[in-house]
Structure 1
Amino acid sequence: MKRYKKYITPYLSAFVIGPLMMLTEVAGEVMLPKFMSMIINNGVADRNLAYIGKMGALMVLTVLFMAVGGILGAYFSAKASISFTSDMRNDLFQKVQQFSFENIDGYSTGSLVTRLTNDVQQVQNVLMMGLRMALRAPGMFLGALIMAFMMNRQLAVIILIVIPLLLAAIILILKTAFPRFGEMQRRLDRLNSGIQESLTNVRVVKSFVREAHEIEKFSRLNRDLKESSLRALRIVITTMPVMMFAMNVTTLAVVWYGGNIIIAGKMPVGDLTAFTTYIVQILMSLMMLSMVFLQSSRASASMKRINEIFDTEIGLNDDNAKNKDKKVTEGRVEFKNVSFGYSGENGRKDLVLEGISFMAEPGQTIGIIGSTGSGKTSLVQLIPRLYDVTGGEVLVDGVNVKEYSLKHLREGVGMVLQKNVLFSGTIEENLRWGNEDAPMEDVIRFSESAQADPFVKTFKNGYGTEMGQGGVNVSGGQKQRLCIARALLKRPKILILDDSTSAVDTATEAKIRESLYHDLKDTTKIIIAQRISSVQEADQILVLEDGKIIGHGTHEELLKTCETYSEIYTTQIGNQSIGAGEEAAV
């Protein structure tokens, strides 16, 4: 409960007033049958119209009193529950934003979306219902039970026989419901993940004409959710007939037994009418409590999933940072016998990098080349601590990256990821992710350096052009250039380009490289590339294979000392020569 106290305290008045206001409805509902019995026993029996009118007016006032209390109770209950879950959702999102890549790898995107939306909504629903019923249902149960005993203890014994049987049935229902609701939420996770994956990759789906496959996959996931939901909701459906059966049987028993008492002259007719109403109120209060418990069972499954997010230990944090105020000022990068592996099953890590050692001086350009899966991206992700090393050390300006605060370390590193991402909004807004306070002159200047300015100016609204979701209204090469411009605007001391010009023609790529060398002389540049032409002018080139450095030197040195590099160069230059020869023949 300590975790949730922070969500209750700011709205404590609403949490208290809501249930208290609902008690006004309880008081009215408990008193109305008594008033009705008095009208029947005294007013109707004695044909006293004045008494009937007086009691009728009292009943009207009671109903108005109940209405005001009910409206205020519903309002404050809604305010408390919505505010509670709104703050919780904010904290959940903040926690997810703090997740390391390793933490995020442990959840599917669909699962995180479901937890922040549907699961939080389930908690809100049961909280709102609980606040409205927290005092109302028990109050009605106790009030009606007391009034029933005051009217006739013999009849009230019938209720005491039925209540334990109903409670046993409710407990059995709840015990069955909990695991089914948990499974339903997991099926919803899978459905959301499938939707997200299909919509994100809709262009690939259409280019391979796989619409029918995606429709079938969605239908299967949807069918699984439907079946799981029906299994869970059968419990809800079962509750109502059980409660109604108990209510009707109890009412029949009371009417039959009470009728005999009336015939014997031991009970007035009005009291039996009121008693029957109290029976209904008692059983209705139990029904309301059972629905609250049933919804609580579903919310409990959702709360368990929410707590998994809160309880996730952040993989990367500043707890061990000894130099939290230190900033990256030079851009020197050093790897000392670094090994790294991604977390697998049972916490085991299979190494994808091993024995990596090299030094990049400030202002140098480091090229990294190697086959797919050789560990190039994994290597550069260790510099801004997107992941932590498994062994060895990564130093920036002579300081272990773990000793920096994540904020200062990442502020000093500009990174263009292998998968380029743009957000909805204008081109200018996307570029200002690099520096939201940058003057427009800098936005344009660094766009020119990234060779993005020429095509941006062709748009009608220029830098005010709205980007579609994920930048769908620009080509792959244009997206890469915008992402490079965004990183340059950050003016980092270390710039990492992870195969970020693969969709750009060689002439444009050459212009980008030239701009980097001239405009970012003091910035350490680390370039991952598939084309040797992209890195051959670098101060150092690393050749990776199976997570190890098998070649290290300049372009000329590697041609002489690294067979793998020489083979890649010969293959690429040979293909270029063949292409040039075919062009000449044409």
Structure 2
Amino acid sequence: MPLLPNLRRLMVIYKGNWRWIVLSQVFVLLGALFMLLIPVQVASLLNDGVLAGNVEKVIDSALNMILFALLAGAFSLANLYVAARVGEGTAHYLRKQVYEKVQTFSFGNLDRYPVGELLVRLTNDIYQINMAANYATRYVLYAPFMILVALVFVYAGSPDLVWIFVLVIVVTAILFSAISMILQKQFRNRQQNLDKVNNVLQEDFAGVRVVKAFVRQDYENARFAEVNEQFRKASVSPLHTNAFMLPSIFLILGVSNALVIWFGGLEVIAGTIDVGQIVAFTQYFFFILAQLWILSFVLPQIIAAEASAGRLALLVDTPPAVLDAPGAQDLDPAGVKGKISFEDVSFSYDGPGGKESVKNISFVAEPGQTVAFLGATGSGKSTIVNLIPRFYDVTRGRITIDGVDVREVSQDSLRRVVDIALQEAVLFSGSIHENIAFGDPDLPFDRVVEAAKVADADGFVSAIPEDYESRVARRGANFSGGQRQRLSIARAVAPRPRVLILDDSTSAVDVATEARIQGAMNTMLAGTTTFIVAQRISTVLLADTILLLDQGEIVDRGSHRELMEKSPLYREIFESQLGGISREEIS
């Protein structure tokens, strides 16, 4: 198995920037070389200067040491500059690529990746890789080079003591390998537990009003405390493992220095080496100590980054659940009439062979008609309408628009003629104007106002001092649920789509407001094929066709009048919700 396979995949990021990275490593090698020349001058200062009584040699050696130290520092500073650019450049590239990858995901992909988990991958995981890229540029070549060259110098000056040097390197390598294997699993577990913490935070902060309304603070505190404790334990484990590394290094090098003094002292007494060489040897050991100490925190960072890179790779390698067919054609909005046909359609969220959420759905919506779906929660209403713009692909059967299978047209062109107001009315930070014109930023202002009037939103928007330039808070938190729904409907109708889907999008407005919205839409979108998902029967009374759903199947169909005559279930829903009141009386 290749070493660090996930991080190695990231090498493509640096294509075109190798010159900078190579230059940085030249700085690394030059800085290390000048640092390693200092012990040579120390040996010369002692042997040829101090012990020989040569003051001129002492001065020359001292000046050389200062020069080498300045050069080593300068080259190290240059490398730090490049390392910072490499680390931040890596993070910038990954954030962009991963974000754009998530934008390609279909609803099916997003069902499997909670928002909290995606945020962790785009923030914490990329931060881990950022730090690893920075450290790798600074130290990964520096430390081995220092060790190797120090070994050469030791062999040249004290060949009889090289075995101590080799022993240190071998024992340390074994230690690092054992700890690395343990750390990789622990870091992966830590990131998974961080996902859980972020998912709970996302839920609780988004639903904090619900938590307070139901006095569930103690329960949510306990729930967060549980995942937070799991994350604490998962975070402490690699710290405990890594805690063995530095003391072990000091122990190894402490024993090694004792061996150097012991055996080196015997060599000095025997006259085979000089005192200066022993001092230089101990300085090389100090350099080794420094490099191994650096590796003791660089290596865990690289291992953590490998785990994070694996999580990003899994995300990037996930193909969109819905893909355009090779040679998919583009729909011409001007030529689309809006005839939608379902031909024996079935769908399972688990794919072919899984439990079907909707089954054997067949109907035709002619251009300009309104088709409504009515049924209990979980009966498959939203699932059916989500199949039209290919948020999901059918498991069996087919859906056509003007006789063309929707799987044979590009998703982008399909969604330019099919607009939807989703169940959850999500608004974006910005202005009201920008939110309504979200589907077409070049939409004329009068069309924006017209869409707001159709959605019965112009009244409350005009009452705000800043009018259509009023700021919208994140997720529209500064508007009520009904106001958010009306702005969402305005966004859907503003482009005047050929097919419009209203997925329970008036559930937060009163019946009178709903009637005004539907009346205005019938005028503005007279030729638009409209699909309405509703829990409330008042929403569907004027639809051309009402499809009554139960457990994912159509159990009856017809207009309001026809269903009142032939469907006991429909009459039961009508009586339970409206008590026999007519739609005209409601309006």
Q: TM-score range by the shorter chain?
A: over 0.9
Residue 517 of structure 2 is aligned to residue 479 of structure 1: no
Per the alignment, residue 407 of structure 2 pairs with 402
Residue 21 of structure 2 is aligned to residue 30 of structure 1: no
Residue 183 of structure 2 is aligned to residue 177 of structure 1: yes
Q: Distance in 2 between matches of 1:147 and 1:284?
A: 17
Contact 1:326 1:404 in 2 (8 A): no
Which secondary structure state, in structure 1, belongs to the residue aligned with residue 579 of structure 2?
helix
* Structure 1 position 293, deviation (Å): 3.2
Which secondary structure state, in structure 1, belongs to the residue aligned with residue 390 of structure 2?
coil
Q: Which of 201, 207, 227 is equivalent to 1:201? A: 207
CA 1:321–1:527: 2 relative to 1, 3 Å: farther
Q: Over aligned residue pairs, what C-alpha RMSD do you find? A: 1.8
Deviations 1:504-563 (A, max 9, x none): 111111111111111101111111122322222111111111111112111111111222
Which moved further from structure 2: 268-277 or 477-486? 268-277
Q: Which of 150, 160, 165 is equivalent to 1:154? A: 160
Contact 1:166 1:243 in 2 (8 A): yes
Deviations 1:421-465 (A, max 9, x none): 111122112112132101111111110111100001111211121
Per the alignment, residue 568 of structure 2 pairs with 563
Contact 1:550 1:562 in 2 (8 A): no
Q: Distance in 1 between matches of 2:404 and 2:65?
A: 80
Which moved further from structure 2: 205-214 or 3-12? 3-12
* Structure 1 position 321, deviation (Å): 5.0
* Structure 1 position 203, deviation (Å): 1.0
Give the aligned length. 576
Which secondary structure state, in structure 2, belongs to the residue aligned with residue 350 of structure 1?
coil
Per the alignment, residue 423 of structure 1 pairs with 428
Q: Distance in 2 between matches of 1:286 and 1:542?
A: 72
Contact 2:380 2:552 in 1 (8 A): yes
CA 1:326–1:445: 2 relative to 1, 3 Å: closer
Residue 193 of structure 2 is aligned to residue 187 of structure 1: yes
Q: Which of 418, 422, 437 is equivalent to 1:413? A: 418
Which moved further from structure 2: 139-148 or 522-531? 522-531
* Structure 1 position 6, deviation (Å): 3.4
Q: Which of 529, 539, 546 is equivalent to 1:524? A: 529
Per the alignment, residue 222 of structure 1 pairs with 228
Per the alignment, residue 467 of structure 1 pairs with 472
Q: Distance in 1 between matches of 2:222 and 2:19?
A: 51
The percent of aligned pairs where both chains have the same amino acid is 37
Show the 5 A alignment for 1:313-328: 313-320=319-326, 322-324=328-330, 326-327=332-333
Contact 1:102 1:343 in 2 (8 A): no
Deviations 1:81-103 (A, max 9, x none): 32123212211111111111111
Per the alignment, residue 329 of structure 1 pairs with 336
Q: Distance in 2 between matches of 1:26 and 1:481?
A: 66
Q: Distance in 2 between matches of 1:393 and 1:332?
A: 14
Unaligned runs of 5+ in 2: none
Q: Distance in 1 between matches of 2:61 and 2:265?
A: 25
Contact 1:14 1:77 in 2 (8 A): no
**Match for 1:340: what amino acid?**
F
User: Which aligned runs of 4 or more in structure 1 are off by greater than 6 angstroms?
Assistant: none
Contact 1:20 1:135 in 2 (8 A): no
Deviations 1:467-513 (A, max 9, x none): 22211111111111000001111221101111111111111111111
CA 1:444–1:325: 2 relative to 1, 3 Å: closer
**Match for 2:340: what amino acid?**
V
**Match for 1:230: what amino acid?**
V
Residue 36 of structure 2 is aligned to residue 6 of structure 1: no
Per the alignment, residue 87 of structure 2 pairs with 81
Per the alignment, residue 132 of structure 2 pairs with 126
Q: Which of 5, 15, 24 is equivalent to 1:18? A: 24
Q: Distance in 2 between matches of 1:512 and 1:404?
A: 31
Q: Which of 250, 253, 257 is equivalent to 1:251? A: 257
Residue 122 of structure 2 is aligned to residue 116 of structure 1: yes
Contact 1:148 1:156 in 2 (8 A): yes
Which secondary structure state, in structure 2, belongs to the residue aligned with residue 470 of structure 1?
helix
Q: Distance in 2 between matches of 1:530 and 1:190?
A: 33
* Structure 1 position 290, deviation (Å): 4.8
Give the structure-1-normalised TM-score. Answer: 0.95
Per the alignment, residue 39 of structure 1 pairs with 45
Which secondary structure state, in structure 2, belongs to the residue aligned with residue 319 of structure 1?
coil
Deviations 1:51-78 (A, max 9, x none): 2222222222211211111111111122
Which secondary structure state, in structure 2, belongs to the residue aligned with residue 349 of structure 1?
coil
